[in-house]
Amino acid sequence: MDTLWKHTTVLLDEAIDALLDKPDSPSHSADGAVATYVDATFGRGGHSRLLLSKMAVGDRLIAFDHDPEAIAEASTIADPRFSIRHQGFRHLSELPDASVTGVLMDLGISSPQIDNPARGFSFRSDGPLDMRMDPTRGESVAEWLATAEVQQIAEVVRDYGEERFAGPIAKAIVARRQERGPITTTSELADLVAGAVKTREAGQNPATRTFQAFRIFINAELEELQLALNASLRVLQPGGRLVVISFHSLEDRIVKQFIAKHAREVVDRRAPDWMLGGSSPMPLESLGRVKPSAQEVAGNKRSRSAVMRVARRTAAP
């Protein structure tokens, strides 16, 4: 595995402390039995390694990741309590009901994925227009753009990139394809978008939102997040923790709304009092959100947009 591209784990201590609930004592499940934790997005293993250092001898940690490079990194962990699955974290649903003490989801992409031009995630260096989390499976962005219609492209850029110039960008991509053939590199796409975007916030590259949109779409990131959140309700034990770190508003909105939906009791105020009866326990209790400290942001600018939300699994409703 190439070690040129380093990754600094965001909210490292805060996430593990939230997951364990009692950071100064050994990990534990709600009933005192052996604890099972899930690192749903292994990445380069920063969270997993710290968690392993705090887990009890008999506990176990199950990790998931799409990326073959993440799987290679995971192979360097010799701890018998650790295992990893080369799968997206939607496969959290395959774990047994109420079998997990804590679930950690660190969303988005890792620094090595961004910084390695061969992965095609960034416009900062020229590379193939790929953007797949797992480059051995599925369709690349270049392959999709080679056949997608203007309306399809515009919808993706608008919905996943929140880009107000989605229409002009989509038209420019299709016009370029018709005139000179498909776009195949990150630089070609970035230059094309820059020509279609008339204004942009100070300090932001015109292609930022479009690259985000294509990455989210090609990897079905938001759909996978929703499936994994739904699965977490079933696999978490009562008292288990759900910890989710997101890096942009689309992800955080889904997480925030999911926790609110399952932590807030909704009562029909129009019903007579005798029909309301006793309240049923909600499946989640919101424990709040955490942002990176000023010190962390100063040392790692990629942490500045991070938001960590924490919830606790209650008794089943």
Comparing C-alpha atoms, which of 248, 245, 251 is closest to residue 221? Answer: 251
At position 118, the amino acid (one-letter code) is A
Tens digits of per-residue pLDDT, 30-39?
Answer: 555 789 999 9
Starting at the edge strand that comes first in sequence, how are the strands of the sheet with 284-290 ordered? 82-85, 60-64, 36-39, 100-106, 236-246, 307-313, 284-290
Tens digits of per-residue pLDDT, 166-190?
Answer: 999 999 999 999 999 999 999 999 9
Rounded CA-CA distance 196/56 in Å is 55
| Of residues 272 and 90, more confidently modeled | 90
Q: Domains in the chain and their CATH numbers?
A: 12-111+221-313 (3.40.50.150), 134-218 (1.10.150.170)
Reported confidence tier of residue 135, pLDDT bands at 50, 70, 90:
very high
Q: Can you give the pLDDT at residue 187? A: 96
Rounded CA-CA distance 218/227 in Å is 16
**3-state percent helix, strand, coil for the chain, nearest multiple of 5:** 45, 15, 40
Q: Identify whether the C-beta of residue 191 lies closer than 8 Å to the C-beta of residue 123.
A: no
The answer to whether residue 230 scores a pLDDT higher than 70 is yes
Reported confidence tier of residue 28, pLDDT bands at 50, 70, 90:
low
What mean pLDDT is predicted for residues 192-220?
90
Kindly give, in sequence order, each residue whose CB lies less than 8 Å from that of residue 155, ignoring residues fewer than 6 positions away.
166
